[in-house]
């Protein structure tokens, strides 16, 4: 079975190479980034002991980040290796200062796994959420290196829990301990014979609480808002914006701040052309009419988590794509969150709906009804705001539980 798995990894890599040749930008970055960094994995780094954190993309990085920063502060004798699978995470965090090396994870082959462990003196490894690479897991287990799953989440649909998943189930034996987000994940592990788990919740709660406490102020944003109610769209995609455009046409009493998930020039120009009235760009904040428009487009990165503090309600993007972005970044400020239907994979989104701090919509009627109830009824808005904030605060603390368990 391991042979078949290894063949599938080679086929996957070949498919990405083909995609890169046909012009797919993400595939190009996936290939070129790994090519440029090959030398790091062939050089000897054994003079130092390393803590290895592996994440898939940006969301998983935010889950691993509280642990990285904890160990950087309390165990500075260890160097930190941070690896990404996806370009969308690596390109944003490649200059992250708390890690000594930020690299793409080489494709999951036996040779790459052996090379990494040969040239890095790994003391402890941390994989975040659900990025399982079986050749790396096998190499870590064979080398006797402690491996922890952080903010792990398991679902019945995964191979581990299918009748044909016996080989995949055995690979989980590489983990020293599982720190999982919820009881259903713990129960699934128990069903397949693993009892080395602790339900800690999600480390992202700790991260957003810290970020909110250190949030930046933006005088130019305050100038734009002019104390009016603010509809903020975070990490928006075109399907989200179709709804937002309708609201812009109907609600002239609101200010709109749109933070697109992608901010290349073509994307920004297409968004500008789709809007029913003139919009300001953040990069043009020094222009005299910057604050006079009703719409502001944030066409730069790194601001969103602090910007949510200015929102009256927040629309979390990609609910009509493959899954919503981070709801907690807004909820921590006591901002009610709304999003499209594709949120089922995100426990926090389901929890926010249940506690009254989050709202999901599937069509224009639902969308308009939710927005009107929140903007027009202060009692509704205050209740939702408090529910969102308390949900985040009550679920913080996973980082302390994990670091209390793992003694380096």
- Domain 217-394 of CATH type 3.40.50.2000: yes
Radius of gyration of the chain (CA): 22
Averaged pLDDT for residues 32-48: 92
For residue range 10-30, what is the model confidence (pLDDT) as tens digits? 999 999 999 999 989 889 999
Read off the pTM.
0.86
Residues in CB range of 115: below 8 A, 6 or more apart:
41, 42, 106
| Confidence band of 252 (pLDDT split at 50, 70, 90) | very high
| Confidence band of 130 (pLDDT split at 50, 70, 90) | confident
How many CB atoms within 10 Å of residue 373?
14
Q: Alpha-carbon distance 177 to 161, whole Å?
A: 18
Q: Alpha-carbon distance 143 to 176, whole Å?
A: 13
**Token pair 């713990």 in the structure block, residue:** 186
Question: What residue spans of 37-120 are helical by DSSP H?
Answer: 38-42, 58-74, 87-93, 110-119
Contact 334, 389 (CB under 8 A): yes
Residue intervals of the chain classified under CATH 3.40.50.11720 are: 2-201
Averaged pLDDT for residues 123-132: 95
For residue range 137-159, what is the model confidence (pLDDT) as tens digits? 999 999 999 999 999 999 999 99
Q: Alpha-carbon distance 8 to 123, whole Å?
A: 30
Strand order across the 101-104 sheet = 101-104, 79-84, 45-55, 120-128, 147-152, 177-180, 197-199
Q: Alpha-carbon distance 171 to 156, whole Å?
A: 17
Question: What residue spans of 120-165 are helical by DSSP H?
Answer: 134-143
Asked if the model's pLDDT at residue 392 lies above 90, the reply is yes
Averaged pLDDT for residues 356-384: 97
| Confidence band of 347 (pLDDT split at 50, 70, 90) | confident
How large is the angle between the packed helices 58-74 and 398-405, nearest 10 degrees? 50
Averaged pLDDT for residues 285-314: 94
Contact 126, 67 (CB under 8 A): yes
Residue intervals of the chain classified under CATH 3.40.50.2000 are: 217-394
Please give the backbone phi and psi of residue 128, each rounded to the nearest 5 degrees, phi first: -110, 130
The pLDDT value recorded for residue 2 is 80
Domain boundaries 2-201, corresponding CATH code: 3.40.50.11720
| Confidence band of 6 (pLDDT split at 50, 70, 90) | confident
Q: Which two tokens stand for residue 87?
A: 């370009």
């Amino acid at each position: 079975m391991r042979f078949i798995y290894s063949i599938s990894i080679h086929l996957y890599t070949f498919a990405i190479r083909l995609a890169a040749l046909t012009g797919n930008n993400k595939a190009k970055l996936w290939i070129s980034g790994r090519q440029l960094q090959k030398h790091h994995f062939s050089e000897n780094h054994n003079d130092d002991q390393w803590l290895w954190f592996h994440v898939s993309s940006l969301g998983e990085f935010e889950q691993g980040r509280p642990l990285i920063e904890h160990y950087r502060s309390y165990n500075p004798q260890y160097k930190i290796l941070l690896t990404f699978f996806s370009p969308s995470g690596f390109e944003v965090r490649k200059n992250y200062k708390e890690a000594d090396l930020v690299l793409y994870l080489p494709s999951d082959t036996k040779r790459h796994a052996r090379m990494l462990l040969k040239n890095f003196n790994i003391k402890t490894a941390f994989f975040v959420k659900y990025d399982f690479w079986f050749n790396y897991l096998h190499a870590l287990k064979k080398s006797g290196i402690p491996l922890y799953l952080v903010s792990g989440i398991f679902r019945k649909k995964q191979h581990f829990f299918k009748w044909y998943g016996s080989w995949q189930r055995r690979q989980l034996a590489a983990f020293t301990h599982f720190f999982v987000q919820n009881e259903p994940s713990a129960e699934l592990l128990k069903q397949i014979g693993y009892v080395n788990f602790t339900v800690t919740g999600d480390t992202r709660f700790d991260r957003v609480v810290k970020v909110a406490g250190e949030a930046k102020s933006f005088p130019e944003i305050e100038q734009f808002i002019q104390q009016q109610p603010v509809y903020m769209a975070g990490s928006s995609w075109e399907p989200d914006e179709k709804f937002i455009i309708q609201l812009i046409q109907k609600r002239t009493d609101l200010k709109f701040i749109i933070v697109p998930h992608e901010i290349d020039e073509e994307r920004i120009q297409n968004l500008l052309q789709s809007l029913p009235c003139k919009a300001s760009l953040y990069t043009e904040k020094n222009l005299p009419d910057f604050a006079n428009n009703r719409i502001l487009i944030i066409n730069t990165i790194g601001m969103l988590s602090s910007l949510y503090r200015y929102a009256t309600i927040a629309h979390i993007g990609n609910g009509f794509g493959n899954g919503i972005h981070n709801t907690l970044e807004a909820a921590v400020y006591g901002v009610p969150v709304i999003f499209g239907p594709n949120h089922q994979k995100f426990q926090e989104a389901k929890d926010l709906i249940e506690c009254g701090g989050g709202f999901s919509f599937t069509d224009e009627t639902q969308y308009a009804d939710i927005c009107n109830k929140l903007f027009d009824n202060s009692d509704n808005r205050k209740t939702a705001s408090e529910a969102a904030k308390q949900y985040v605060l009550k679920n913080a603390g996973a980082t302390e539980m994990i670091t209390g368990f793992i003694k380096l």
